[in-house]
Structure 1
Amino acid sequence: MSKFNNQKIMPRYSVICMLMTIISLGVLIKAGYIMTAKRDYWMKVADRVKRDNVVIQPVRGNILSCDGQLLASSLPEFKIFMDFQQLHDAGNDSLWDAKEKLICKGLHEIFPEQSPAEFKANLDKGRKKMSRHWPVWPYRINYNTYSEVLKLPVFNLTKFQSGFHCEELNARENPFGTLAERTVGDMYALKDGGRMPRCGLELSFDKLLRGTNGVGHRRKVLNKYLDIIDKEPVNGCDIITTIDVGIQDLAERAVIEELKQPEVNGDVGVAIVMEVKTGDIKAIVNIDKCYGPNGQIIYKEIKNHAVSDLMEPGSVFKPVSVMTALQDGMCDTSKIVDTGNGVWPMYGREMKDHNWRRGGYGVMNMATTLRVSSNIGVSRIIDEYYHNDPEKFVRGVYRSGIASDLHIPIVGASPAKIRMPKKNKRGEWLNWSNTALPWMSIGYESQVPPISTLAFYNAIANNGCMMQPRFVKASIQNGEVTEYPPQVVKGHTQIASPAVIKKMQVMLEHVVSEGLGKKAGSTSFKVAGKTGTAQISKGSVGYKSGMTHYLLSFAGYFPADNPKYSCIVCIQKGGLPASGGGMSGVVFHHIAEGIMAQSEGRDVRQARDSASVFVPQVKNGNILSADFVLSQLGIKTKRNYIANIANTSALWGQARSGTHYVDLVHQGVPSTKHVPNVMGMGARDAVYLMEQRGVKCRIIGRGKVVKQSLPPGKYIHRGETCTLTLE
Structure 2
Amino acid sequence: MKEREPKSRTYNRKKLSLVFCVCVLLLIGLVVRLVRLMVFEADYYQELAEDLHQRERSIKAARGRILDRNGTVLASNRTVCTVSVVHSQIRDPEGVIEALSRELDLPEETVRKRVEKYSSIERIKANVDKETGDRIRALELKGVKIDEDYKRSYPYGSLASKVLGFTGSDNQGIIGLEVRYDTYLQGQNGTILTLTDARGIELADAGEERVEPVPGADLRVSLDYNIQLYAEQAAKKVREEKQATYVSILVLNPRNGEIYANVNVPEFDLNNPYDLTDYLAGTAQDPATLTEEQKQDLRNQMWRNQSINDTYEPGSIFKIVTAAAALEKGVVSLQDRFSCPGFRMVEDRRIRCHKVRGHGSETFVQAIENSCNPAFIDIGQRVGAEDFCGYFRQFGLMEKTGIDLPGEANIIMHKLENIGLVELATMSFGQSFQITPMQMAATVSSIVNGGRRITPHFGVAIENQEGKVLKKLSWPKGKQVVRPETSEIMRFLLEKVVSEGGGKKAYIEGCRIGGKTATSQTLPRGTNKYISSFIGFAPADNPEVLAMCIIHNPQGVYYGGTIAAPVIRDVFTNILPYLGIEKTEEKAYTTE
- The sequence identity of aligned pairs, in percent, is 25
| AA partner of residue 209 (structure 1) | L
Match of 1:580 in 2: 560
**CA shift digits 1:343-382 (9 cap, x unpaired):** 22111111111111xx111110111111110011111122
User: Are 2:575 and 1:595 equivalent residues in the alignment?
Assistant: yes
Q: Are positions 1:312 and 2:301 aligned together?
A: no
Retained in 2: the 8 A contact 1:343–1:351? yes
Residue among 463, 476, 481 paired with 2:469: 481
- Which of 200, 203, 217 aligns to 2:179? It is 203
Structure 1, gaps ≥5 residues long: 1-42, 422-429, 603-727
CA RMSD in angstroms, aligned pairs only: 3.4
Contact (CA 8 Å) 1:49, 1:225: kept in 2 or not?
Answer: no
Structure 2 counterpart of 1:67, from 60, 70, 73: 70
For residue 490 of structure 1, what is the aligned residue in structure 2? 478
Deviation at 1:58, TM superposition (A): 3.0
Q: By how many angstroms is 1:59 displaced? A: 2.6
Aligned length: 507
Q: CA deviation at 1:309?
A: 1.6
Q: CA deviation at 1:223?
A: 1.2
CA gap 1:574/1:254 in 2 versus in 1, 3 angstroms: closer
Task: Return the letter of the residue paired with 1:587.
Answer: V
State yes or no: 1:531 paired with 2:517.
yes
Distance 2:286 2:507 in 1: 31
Aligned to 2:83: 80
Give the Cα separation in 1 of the matches to 2:127 and 2:206.
23
User: What whole-Å deviation, never above 9, does each CA across 1:621-651 have from its counterpart, x for those lacking one?
Assistant: xxxxxxxxxxxxxxxxxxxxxxxxxxxxxxx
Q: For residues 128-183 of structure 1, give each alpha carbon's deviation from its aligned partner in whole angstroms, at most 9, with x where no partner exists.
A: 78998676x64531223323x24xxxx52546xx4432233331111111111111
Per-residue Cα deviation, 1:179-202 (whole angstroms, up to 9, x for no partner): 11111111123xxxx243211011
Equivalent residue runs for 1:223-242 within 5 Å: 223=204, 226-229=207-210, 233-242=213-222
Query: Which residue of 2 is the match for residue 156 of structure 1?
Result: 138
Residue 382 (str. 1) matches residue 380 (str. 2): yes
The C-alpha deviation readout for 1:60-108, integer Å capped at 9, x for no partner, is 21111111122112333213245576453xxx89xx87x998x58xx75
CA distance in 1, matches of 2:461, 2:193: 35
CA deviation map 1:591-637 (0-9, x unaligned)? 111112433599xxxxxxxxxxxxxxxxxxxxxxxxxxxxxxxxxxx
Q: Deviations over 1:481-504 (max 9, x none)?
A: 14435645532xx32222221111
* 1:278-326 Cα shifts (integer Å, max 9, x gaps): 2110100112494228759999953111112222111000011111111
Change (3 A) 1:127 1:499: closer
Question: What is the TM-score when the length of structure 1 is the normalising length?
Answer: 0.63
| Equivalent position SS for 2:163 | helix
Farther off after superposition, 123-132 or 170-179: 123-132
Deviations 1:568-601 (A, max 9, x none): 1111106653111112212111111111243359
Counterparts in 2 of 1:238 and 1:521: CA distance versus 1, 3 Å: same
Alpha carbons of structure 1 residues 394 and 51: separation in structure 2 relative to 1, 3 Å: same
Distance in structure 2 (CA, Å) of the matches to 1:397 and 1:100: 68
Task: Confirm or deny that 1:255 pairs with 2:221.
Answer: no
Preserved CA contact (<8 Å) 1:531 1:581: yes
Are residues 555 and 293 of structure 1, via their aligned partners in 2, closer, same or farther at CA, if it must alter by over 3 Å?
closer
Could you tell me how far apart the structure 1 residues matched to 2:343 and 2:370 are?
15
Tell me which residue corresponds to 1:373: 371
Which AA in structure 1 matches 2:55? R
State the shift of 1:123 in Å.
6.5
CA distance in 1, matches of 2:543, 2:435: 24
Cα pair distance change 1:601/1:132, threshold 3 Å: farther
Contact map agreement 1:213 1:233 (CA 8 A) in 2 = yes
SS at match of 1:435: helix
- The residue identity in structure 1 corresponding to 2:152 is R
Q: Structure 1 pair 420/213, CA: closer, same or farther in 2 (3 Å)?
A: same
Query: How far apart are the structure 2 equivalents of 1:296 and 1:80?
Result: 36
* Counterpart in the other structure of 1:277: 255
Instruction: Provide TM-score, normalisation by structure 2.
Output: 0.77
The one-letter code sitting in structure 1 at the alignment partner of 2:393 is Y
Confirm or deny: 8 A CA contact 1:470 1:486 kept in the other structure: no
The answer to whether residue 164 in structure 2 is matched with residue 179 in structure 1 is: no
Structure 2: gaps spanning 5 or more residues: 1-46, 197-201, 268-278, 288-298, 583-592
Q: Secondary structure at the match of 2:516?
A: strand
SS state of the match for residue 405, structure 1?
coil
| Separation in 2, partners of 1:295, 1:70 | 37
Partner in structure 1 of residue 453 of structure 2: 466
* 1:478 to partner: Cα distance: 6.5
Quick check: 2:133–2:146 contact (8 Å CA) kept in 1? Answer: no
Contact 1:415 1:449 in 2 (8 A): yes
- Residue deviations 1:216-267 (CA, integer Å, cap 9, x gap): 64324751564424x6644322111111111111111111110111xx2111
Q: Aligned-pair distance for 1:414?
A: 2.6
Deviation string, structure 1 residues 436-493 (Cα, Å, up to 9, x no partner) = 11111100122211111111222234222222112110001475514435645532xx
Q: Deviations over 1:409-459 (max 9, x none)?
A: 1111134344452xxxxxxxx322221111111001222111111112222
Does the C-alpha gap of structure 1 residues 209 and 338 become closer, same or farther in structure 2, counting only changes over 3 Å? Answer: same
Q: Is the 8 A contact 2:247 2:264 kept in 1?
A: yes
SS in 2 for 1:266: coil
Q: Which amino acid aligns with 1:392?
A: D
8 Å Cα contact 1:548/1:574 also seen in 2:
no
Structure with higher RCO (Cα < 8 A, 6+ apart): 2
Q: In 2 relative to 1, CA 157–601 (structure 1 residues): closer, same or farther, beyond 3 Å?
A: farther
> CA separation of 1:213/1:45 partners in 2, compared to 1, >3 Å: closer, same or farther?
closer
Once residues 279 and 129 of structure 1 are traced to their aligned partners in structure 2, the CA distance between those partners, rounded to angstroms, is 56
User: Within 5 Å, which residues of 2 pair with 1:527-676?
Assistant: 527-537=513-523, 542-544=524-526, 547-573=527-553, 576-600=556-580
- In structure 2, the partner of 1:51 is 55
Give the Å deviation of 1:394: 1.9
**Matched AA of 2:411:** A
Partner of 2:8: none
Looking at structure 1, the residues matched to 224 and 321 of structure 2 have their Cα atoms a distance apart, in angstroms, of 29
1:333 counterpart residue number:
334
**Counterpart AA for 2:305:** N
Residue 397 of structure 1, CA deviation: 3.2
Deviation at 1:330, TM superposition (A): 1.0
Tell me if structure 2 keeps the 8 A contact 1:372–1:516.
yes
- Conserved? CA contact 1:553–1:571, under 8 Å: yes
1:507 aligns with 2:499: no
SS of the residue corresponding to residue 421 of structure 2 reads: coil
